[in-house]
């Protein structure tokens, strides 16, 4: 049985932020988890807990397959034991233009030191400029070759290109700054 959370906030903007372009309400709240198929659940648990600070949590007993759930920073990582290793990435090159997940970081140097101490090969770069904000990025692979990015993307403002009324920012989470120009404000 689903439990409905009561919202005592009577702000009309909250109501309009949940509507899609057709006007229907979307009850989405946030990203819940990502799922990763892995060669070794144990190796992946060690990587995500020791290198990135995730915490192993109990999985529902109804899940009768080999896997693990991790959680921290408001997001879950669900690991599933691979039945076919041919489906795992076989290219361990670091290409920022390839599929990856990204984590926001408040101290890039400290995280880079931690990765180096663990012997994790990373690619470091800075993109952007003073006008639109510089972003420091670290790219590396998990034990199965899935690419991970660590960044300080809060240095770049989100600039909605359409109605600001559709942008929903949870108040209890870290959010990048949002820049509203007069056109975006009028379109909402």
| Cross-strand bridge partners of residue 125 | 137
CA dist 84 and 38 (Å) reads 9
The answer to whether the CB of 70 falls within 8 A of the CB of 79 is yes
The answer to whether the CB of 150 falls within 8 A of the CB of 105 is yes
| Cross-strand bridge partners of residue 56 | 70
Buried b / exposed e along 99-126 (16+ C-beta atoms within 10 A): eeeebebeebeebbeebeeeebebeeee
According to DSSP, the β-strands at 33-38 and 100-104 are unpaired
CA dist 6 and 123 (Å) reads 45
- Catalytic pick from 21, 112, 149, 179? 149
The answer to whether the CB of 184 falls within 8 A of the CB of 160 is yes
149 a catalytic residue: yes
**Angstrom distances, CA of residue 25 to CA of 40, 99, 152:** 41, 30, 32
Catalytic residue IDs? 149
């Amino acid at each position: 049985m689903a439990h409905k959370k009561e919202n005592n906030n009577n702000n009309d903007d909250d109501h309009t932020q949940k509507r899609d372009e057709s006007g229907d309400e979307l009850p989405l709240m946030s990203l819940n988890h990502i799922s990763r198929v892995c060669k070794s659940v144990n190796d992946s648990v060690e990587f995500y807990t020791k290198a990135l600070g995730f915490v192993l949590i109990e999985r529902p007993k109804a899940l009768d397959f080999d896997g693990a759930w991790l959680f921290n920073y408001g997001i879950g990582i669900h690991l599933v034991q691979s039945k076919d290793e041919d489906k795992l990435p076989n290219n361990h090159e670091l290409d920022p233009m390839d599929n990856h997940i990204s984590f926001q970081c408040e101290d890039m140097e400290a995280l880079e030191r931690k990765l180096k101490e663990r012997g994790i090969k990373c690619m470091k770069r800075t993109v952007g400029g003073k006008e639109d904000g510089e972003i420091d990025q670290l790219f590396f692979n998990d034990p199965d070759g899935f690419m991970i990015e660590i960044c300080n993307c809060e240095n770049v403002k989100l600039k909605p290109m359409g109605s600001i009324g559709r942008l929903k920012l949870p108040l209890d989470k870290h959010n990048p700054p949002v820049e509203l120009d007069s056109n975006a404000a009028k379109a909402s």
